[in-house]
Amino acid sequence: MKQEESKMQVELFNLIRARGKTCEKWFVIHSTPNGGHRTTTTAKKMKSEGVLAGVWDIKIPVQTEHYAGMFIEMKFGDNKLTEHQKLFREKTDKANAGFKPFKWVVCYSHWEAYRKIENYLKGGL
């Protein structure tokens, strides 16, 4: 994860953890340790443990009336989804065909992500 995206995600999780102290729906929100600089040995170990290229940054494993859960990808500046991220979204949607879909959101600030999560958990589309 690039430095600016990392900073945004840290700020977001400061807010999420504060809300998670009193609300289970916020408590279970988590990130996936993809990206970032690692040694070759660490990268190989993580891959053998199941790390998958393209997994989105944040998962909200809470169902709503309309969705099975929500994924958020944090981006900075004019960064766009990678091909691996697009493929992960596509494969996840296909694997869950016939069930409630997941909501997919790309956010460019921690406040944008926070508001999207808040709206989602209130049942918003």
- Domain range for 99 is 3-28+55-121
* Interaxial angle between packed helices 3-20 and 110-121, expressed in degrees from 0 to 180 and rounded to the nearest 10: 40
Q: Note the pLDDT of residue 1.
A: 55
Instruction: Specify the CATH number for the domain of residue 110.
Output: 3.40.1350
Residue 44 lies in a domain: no
Outline where DSSP puts E strands in the chain.
Answer: 30-31, 58-60, 69-74, 102-107
Domain-located, residue 95: yes
pLDDT bin (cut points 50, 70, 90) of residue 38 is confident
What distance, in Å, lies between the first and last C-alpha atoms of the chain? 28
> What burial class does residue 13 get, using C-beta atoms within 10 Å of its C-beta: 0-12 exposed, 13-18 middle, 19+ buried?
middle
Task: Name the CA radius of gyration of the chain, rounded.
Answer: 15
- Reported as a single tens digit per residue, the pLDDT across 55-104 is 999 999 999 999 999 999 999 999 999 999 999 999 999 999 999 999 99
In a domain, 48, yes or no: no
Look at the chain and report how many structural domains it folds into: 1
Q: What percent of the chain has pLDDT over 90?
A: 75
Q: Is 40 a domain residue? A: no
- pLDDT of amino acid 34: 77
pLDDT in tens, 8-21: 999 999 999 999 99
